[in-house]
Protein backbone atom coordinates (compact mmCIF):
# COMPACT_ATOMS: atom_id res chain seq x y z
CA UNK A 1 0.00 0.00 0.00
CA UNK A 2 2.87 2.34 0.77
CA UNK A 3 4.32 1.82 -2.69
CA UNK A 4 0.95 2.52 -4.25
CA UNK A 5 0.60 5.71 -2.22
CA UNK A 6 4.09 6.88 -3.21
CA UNK A 7 3.33 6.20 -6.86
CA UNK A 8 0.21 8.32 -6.63
CA UNK A 9 2.09 11.11 -4.91
CA UNK A 10 4.85 11.05 -7.53
CA UNK A 11 2.19 11.23 -10.24
CA UNK A 12 0.66 14.26 -8.52
CA UNK A 13 4.06 15.90 -8.24
CA UNK A 14 4.79 15.34 -11.92
CA UNK A 15 1.32 16.58 -12.82
CA UNK A 16 1.86 19.80 -10.90
CA UNK A 17 5.26 20.28 -12.53
CA UNK A 18 3.74 19.88 -15.99
CA UNK A 19 0.93 22.28 -15.14
CA UNK A 20 3.48 24.86 -14.00
CA UNK A 21 5.24 24.54 -17.35
CA UNK A 22 2.04 24.88 -19.36
CA UNK A 23 0.16 27.56 -17.48
CA UNK A 24 2.79 30.21 -18.26
CA UNK A 25 1.48 30.50 -21.80
CA UNK A 26 -1.56 28.26 -21.91
CA UNK A 27 -5.11 29.62 -21.60
CA UNK A 28 -7.65 26.79 -21.46
CA UNK A 29 -10.11 26.55 -24.33
CA UNK A 30 -13.69 26.85 -23.16
CA UNK A 31 -17.09 26.98 -24.81
CA UNK A 32 -18.16 30.62 -24.62
CA UNK A 33 -21.88 30.23 -24.02
CA UNK A 34 -22.34 33.99 -23.69
CA UNK A 35 -20.84 34.52 -27.14
CA UNK A 36 -23.00 31.76 -28.62
CA UNK A 37 -26.20 33.25 -27.19
CA UNK A 38 -25.33 36.84 -28.10
CA UNK A 39 -24.61 35.87 -31.70
CA UNK A 40 -27.24 33.18 -32.19
CA UNK A 41 -28.73 34.58 -35.41
CA UNK A 42 -25.38 35.47 -36.96
CA UNK A 43 -24.02 32.00 -36.16
CA UNK A 44 -27.10 30.46 -37.76
CA UNK A 45 -26.49 32.49 -40.91
CA UNK A 46 -22.82 31.56 -40.88
CA UNK A 47 -23.71 27.89 -40.50
CA UNK A 48 -25.97 28.03 -43.55
CA UNK A 49 -23.24 29.76 -45.55
CA UNK A 50 -20.57 27.29 -44.43
CA UNK A 51 -22.46 24.35 -45.91
CA UNK A 52 -23.72 26.14 -49.03
CA UNK A 53 -22.02 25.23 -52.32
CA UNK A 54 -23.50 28.32 -53.97
CA UNK A 55 -20.73 30.40 -52.43
CA UNK A 56 -18.27 29.07 -55.02
CA UNK A 57 -18.19 30.29 -58.60
CA UNK A 58 -19.40 27.01 -60.08
CA UNK A 59 -21.77 26.35 -57.16
CA UNK A 60 -20.19 22.96 -56.37
CA UNK A 61 -17.86 23.72 -53.42
CA UNK A 62 -18.77 24.69 -49.87
CA UNK A 63 -16.43 25.46 -46.98
CA UNK A 64 -17.30 22.04 -45.61
CA UNK A 65 -16.21 20.41 -48.88
CA UNK A 66 -12.61 20.87 -47.75
CA UNK A 67 -12.98 21.47 -44.01
CA UNK A 68 -15.27 18.60 -43.09
CA UNK A 69 -16.45 19.54 -39.60
CA UNK A 70 -17.32 15.95 -38.80
CA UNK A 71 -13.71 15.02 -39.62
CA UNK A 72 -12.30 17.61 -37.19
CA UNK A 73 -12.39 20.35 -39.81
CA UNK A 74 -10.19 18.78 -42.49
CA UNK A 75 -10.13 16.10 -45.20
CA UNK A 76 -13.35 17.05 -46.97
CA UNK A 77 -14.46 15.02 -50.00
CA UNK A 78 -13.69 17.76 -52.54
CA UNK A 79 -10.20 18.25 -51.15
CA UNK A 80 -9.47 14.51 -51.04
CA UNK A 81 -10.62 14.11 -54.63
CA UNK A 82 -8.48 17.00 -55.84
CA UNK A 83 -5.45 15.73 -53.94
CA UNK A 84 -5.90 12.23 -55.34
CA UNK A 85 -5.81 13.70 -58.83
CA UNK A 86 -2.70 15.77 -58.11
CA UNK A 87 -4.51 19.12 -58.11
CA UNK A 88 -3.76 20.16 -54.52
CA UNK A 89 -0.28 20.75 -53.21
CA UNK A 90 -0.86 21.18 -49.48
CA UNK A 91 -2.71 19.53 -46.64
CA UNK A 92 -5.92 21.19 -45.42
CA UNK A 93 -5.63 22.49 -41.84
CA UNK A 94 -8.43 22.21 -39.31
CA UNK A 95 -10.82 25.09 -38.63
CA UNK A 96 -11.44 24.18 -35.01
CA UNK A 97 -10.04 26.57 -32.38
CA UNK A 98 -8.43 28.82 -35.01
CA UNK A 99 -10.04 32.17 -34.21
CA UNK A 100 -7.31 33.08 -31.68
CA UNK A 101 -4.46 32.48 -34.11
CA UNK A 102 -2.42 35.29 -35.63
CA UNK A 103 -1.00 33.26 -38.53
CA UNK A 104 -2.93 31.34 -41.17
CA UNK A 105 -2.07 29.07 -44.09
CA UNK A 106 0.78 26.60 -44.10
CA UNK A 107 3.15 29.31 -45.31
CA UNK A 108 2.07 31.76 -42.59
CA UNK A 109 1.27 34.41 -45.17
CA UNK A 110 -2.06 35.59 -43.69
CA UNK A 111 -2.48 37.29 -40.31
CA UNK A 112 -6.22 37.47 -39.58
CA UNK A 113 -9.13 35.07 -39.83
CA UNK A 114 -11.05 37.65 -41.85
CA UNK A 115 -8.25 37.84 -44.41
CA UNK A 116 -8.04 34.05 -44.46
CA UNK A 117 -11.74 33.74 -45.31
CA UNK A 118 -11.40 36.35 -48.05
CA UNK A 119 -8.40 34.49 -49.42
CA UNK A 120 -10.33 31.22 -49.43
CA UNK A 121 -12.94 32.80 -51.67
CA UNK A 122 -10.45 34.18 -54.19
CA UNK A 123 -7.95 31.31 -54.10
CA UNK A 124 -7.95 29.17 -57.23
CA UNK A 125 -7.39 26.07 -55.10
CA UNK A 126 -10.44 26.83 -52.96
CA UNK A 127 -13.68 28.68 -53.83
CA UNK A 128 -12.17 30.42 -56.87
CA UNK A 129 -14.48 33.43 -56.79
CA UNK A 130 -13.34 35.82 -59.50
CA UNK A 131 -16.42 38.05 -59.37
CA UNK A 132 -17.96 38.66 -55.94
CA UNK A 133 -21.06 40.16 -57.52
CA UNK A 134 -21.97 36.73 -58.91
CA UNK A 135 -22.17 35.35 -55.37
CA UNK A 136 -24.01 38.41 -54.04
CA UNK A 137 -26.61 38.33 -56.81
CA UNK A 138 -27.07 34.59 -56.29
CA UNK A 139 -27.83 35.04 -52.60
CA UNK A 140 -29.98 38.12 -53.10
CA UNK A 141 -32.21 36.09 -55.38
CA UNK A 142 -32.99 33.72 -52.49
CA UNK A 143 -35.74 35.03 -50.23
CA UNK A 144 -34.71 33.00 -47.21
CA UNK A 145 -31.20 34.44 -47.36
CA UNK A 146 -32.55 37.97 -47.64
CA UNK A 147 -34.55 37.34 -44.48
CA UNK A 148 -31.58 35.85 -42.59
CA UNK A 149 -29.22 38.67 -43.56
CA UNK A 150 -31.74 41.37 -42.64
CA UNK A 151 -32.36 39.73 -39.26
CA UNK A 152 -28.65 39.94 -38.45
CA UNK A 153 -27.60 43.18 -40.12
CA UNK A 154 -30.63 45.24 -39.15
CA UNK A 155 -29.05 48.65 -39.66
CA UNK A 156 -27.34 47.78 -42.94
CA UNK A 157 -29.26 48.99 -45.98
CA UNK A 158 -27.24 46.52 -48.06
CA UNK A 159 -27.44 43.53 -45.74
CA UNK A 160 -26.55 40.90 -48.36
CA UNK A 161 -22.99 42.01 -48.97
CA UNK A 162 -19.69 40.20 -49.30
CA UNK A 163 -18.36 41.79 -46.12
CA UNK A 164 -21.35 40.44 -44.22
CA UNK A 165 -20.87 36.98 -45.73
CA UNK A 166 -17.32 36.97 -44.41
CA UNK A 167 -18.42 38.38 -41.05
CA UNK A 168 -21.09 35.68 -40.57
CA UNK A 169 -18.66 32.92 -41.53
CA UNK A 170 -16.03 34.33 -39.18
CA UNK A 171 -18.54 34.36 -36.32
CA UNK A 172 -19.58 30.76 -36.98
CA UNK A 173 -15.94 29.64 -37.13
CA UNK A 174 -15.23 31.43 -33.85
CA UNK A 175 -17.70 29.06 -32.22
CA UNK A 176 -15.83 25.99 -33.47
CA UNK A 177 -14.11 25.11 -30.22
CA UNK A 178 -13.22 21.71 -28.81
CA UNK A 179 -12.37 21.83 -25.09
CA UNK A 180 -10.17 18.83 -24.31
CA UNK A 181 -8.75 16.91 -21.34
CA UNK A 182 -5.69 19.21 -21.43
CA UNK A 183 -7.97 22.13 -20.53
CA UNK A 184 -9.39 20.32 -17.49
CA UNK A 185 -5.83 19.44 -16.51
CA UNK A 186 -4.67 23.07 -16.68
CA UNK A 187 -7.60 24.07 -14.47
CA UNK A 188 -6.42 21.64 -11.79
CA UNK A 189 -7.83 18.22 -12.58
CA UNK A 190 -4.85 15.84 -12.32
CA UNK A 191 -7.02 12.92 -13.38
CA UNK A 192 -7.80 14.55 -16.75
CA UNK A 193 -4.52 13.18 -18.14
CA UNK A 194 -3.16 9.67 -17.66
CA UNK A 195 0.21 8.93 -16.12
CA UNK A 196 1.62 8.22 -19.59
CA UNK A 197 0.23 11.47 -20.96
CA UNK A 198 1.85 13.44 -18.14
CA UNK A 199 5.14 11.66 -18.83
CA UNK A 200 4.73 12.50 -22.51
CA UNK A 201 4.13 16.15 -21.67
CA UNK A 202 7.42 16.25 -19.79
CA UNK A 203 9.28 14.58 -22.67
CA UNK A 204 7.67 17.10 -25.03
CA UNK A 205 9.14 19.80 -22.81
CA UNK A 206 12.54 18.11 -22.42
CA UNK A 207 12.89 17.94 -26.21
CA UNK A 208 12.17 21.70 -26.37
CA UNK A 209 9.06 21.12 -28.50
CA UNK A 210 7.32 23.91 -26.56
CA UNK A 211 9.77 26.45 -27.97
CA UNK A 212 7.84 26.33 -31.25
CA UNK A 213 4.59 24.60 -30.33
CA UNK A 214 3.53 27.30 -27.92
CA UNK A 215 0.27 28.94 -26.92
CA UNK A 216 -3.15 27.48 -26.18
CA UNK A 217 -3.25 25.70 -29.53
CA UNK A 218 0.23 24.24 -28.97
CA UNK A 219 1.42 25.91 -32.15
CA UNK A 220 0.20 28.28 -34.83
CA UNK A 221 2.01 31.29 -33.34
CA UNK A 222 5.08 31.54 -35.57
CA UNK A 223 6.79 30.46 -38.74
CA UNK A 224 9.83 28.23 -38.48
CA UNK A 225 12.16 26.51 -40.88
CA UNK A 226 11.14 22.95 -41.67
CA UNK A 227 14.39 21.06 -41.64
CA UNK A 228 16.61 22.96 -39.20
CA UNK A 229 19.08 20.12 -38.64
CA UNK A 230 18.53 18.11 -41.84
CA UNK A 231 16.99 19.16 -45.12
CA UNK A 232 13.32 18.24 -45.36
CA UNK A 233 12.99 15.51 -48.03
CA UNK A 234 10.34 17.37 -50.04
CA UNK A 235 11.68 20.70 -51.28
CA UNK A 236 9.01 21.39 -53.93
CA UNK A 237 7.02 23.78 -51.75
CA UNK A 238 9.25 26.48 -50.29
CA UNK A 239 6.64 27.89 -47.92
CA UNK A 240 6.99 31.50 -46.73
CA UNK A 241 9.56 32.13 -49.45
CA UNK A 242 6.64 32.12 -51.88
CA UNK A 243 5.22 35.10 -49.98
CA UNK A 244 8.34 37.22 -49.45
CA UNK A 245 10.68 35.87 -52.16
CA UNK A 246 13.49 36.21 -49.64
CA UNK A 247 15.98 33.31 -49.90
CA UNK A 248 16.36 33.37 -46.11
CA UNK A 249 12.76 32.14 -45.82
CA UNK A 250 13.01 29.05 -47.97
CA UNK A 251 11.25 26.09 -46.30
CA UNK A 252 9.73 28.27 -43.59
CA UNK A 253 6.21 27.20 -42.61
CA UNK A 254 3.71 27.96 -39.90
CA UNK A 255 4.26 25.79 -36.85
CA UNK A 256 1.19 23.57 -36.86
CA UNK A 257 -1.35 23.90 -34.03
CA UNK A 258 -1.57 20.52 -32.33
CA UNK A 259 -5.11 20.55 -30.92
CA UNK A 260 -6.95 17.49 -32.25
CA UNK A 261 -3.76 16.39 -34.02
CA UNK A 262 -4.65 12.79 -33.21
CA UNK A 263 -7.66 13.16 -35.54
CA UNK A 264 -6.17 15.22 -38.37
CA UNK A 265 -3.81 12.78 -40.09
CA UNK A 266 -1.94 12.96 -42.43
CA UNK A 267 0.68 15.33 -41.07
CA UNK A 268 2.80 18.21 -42.33
CA UNK A 269 1.98 20.56 -45.19
CA UNK A 270 2.92 17.87 -47.72
CA UNK A 271 1.13 14.97 -45.98
CA UNK A 272 4.47 13.23 -45.38
CA UNK A 273 3.29 11.00 -42.55
CA UNK A 274 0.01 9.31 -41.66
CA UNK A 275 1.17 8.04 -38.27
CA UNK A 276 1.38 10.36 -35.26
CA UNK A 277 4.27 8.60 -33.57
CA UNK A 278 6.21 8.60 -36.83
CA UNK A 279 5.48 12.32 -37.25
CA UNK A 280 6.87 12.96 -33.76
CA UNK A 281 10.06 11.12 -34.67
CA UNK A 282 10.35 13.06 -37.92
CA UNK A 283 10.13 16.33 -36.02
CA UNK A 284 12.80 15.17 -33.59
CA UNK A 285 15.14 14.26 -36.42
CA UNK A 286 14.65 17.13 -38.86
CA UNK A 287 14.05 19.97 -36.39
CA UNK A 288 16.19 18.99 -33.42
CA UNK A 289 18.64 16.43 -34.74
CA UNK A 290 17.33 14.04 -32.08
CA UNK A 291 16.74 10.34 -32.26
CA UNK A 292 13.42 10.08 -30.45
CA UNK A 293 12.92 6.49 -29.39
CA UNK A 294 9.76 4.52 -30.10
CA UNK A 295 8.96 4.59 -26.38
CA UNK A 296 9.38 8.38 -26.19
CA UNK A 297 7.32 8.89 -29.35
CA UNK A 298 4.56 6.75 -27.89
CA UNK A 299 4.45 8.82 -24.70
CA UNK A 300 4.56 12.13 -26.57
CA UNK A 301 1.74 10.91 -28.82
CA UNK A 302 -0.25 9.93 -25.74
CA UNK A 303 0.19 13.47 -24.41
CA UNK A 304 -0.93 14.92 -27.75
CA UNK A 305 -4.07 12.77 -27.61
CA UNK A 306 -4.93 14.72 -24.48
CA UNK A 307 -5.44 17.69 -26.83
CA UNK A 308 -8.30 15.92 -28.59
CA UNK A 309 -11.63 17.55 -27.82
CA UNK A 310 -15.20 16.58 -28.55
CA UNK A 311 -16.76 17.73 -31.80
CA UNK A 312 -19.75 20.03 -31.04
CA UNK A 313 -22.22 17.86 -32.95
CA UNK A 314 -25.24 20.11 -32.39
CA UNK A 315 -23.38 23.29 -33.32
CA UNK A 316 -22.06 21.86 -36.60
CA UNK A 317 -25.23 20.07 -37.65
CA UNK A 318 -25.90 20.77 -41.30
CA UNK A 319 -29.16 22.72 -41.70
CA UNK A 320 -31.89 20.23 -42.56
CA UNK A 321 -33.22 22.64 -45.12
CA UNK A 322 -30.68 24.85 -46.75
CA UNK A 323 -32.29 28.10 -47.80
CA UNK A 324 -33.58 27.96 -51.35
So which residues are the catalytic ones? 126
* Cα distances (angstroms) measured from residue 179 to each of 30, 251, 312: 6, 32, 10
User: 247 preceded by cis ω (within 30°)?
Assistant: no
Q: Which of left, alpha, beta for 72 (phi over 0: left; psi -120 to 50: alpha)?
A: left
**CA–CA separation, 322 and 324 (whole Å):** 6
55 touches 49 (CB < 8 A): yes
Amino acid sequence: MLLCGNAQEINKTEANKLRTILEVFFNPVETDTQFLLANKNKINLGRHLFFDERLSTNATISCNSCHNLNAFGTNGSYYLDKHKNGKWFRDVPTLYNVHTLSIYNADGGINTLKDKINDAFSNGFEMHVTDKNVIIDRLKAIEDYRILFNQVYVDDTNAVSFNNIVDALQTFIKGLTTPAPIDKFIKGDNKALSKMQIQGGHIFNDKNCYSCHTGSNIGGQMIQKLGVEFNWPNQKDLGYYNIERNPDYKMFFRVSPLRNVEKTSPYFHDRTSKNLEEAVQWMGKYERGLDISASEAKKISAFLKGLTGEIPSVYIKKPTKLVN
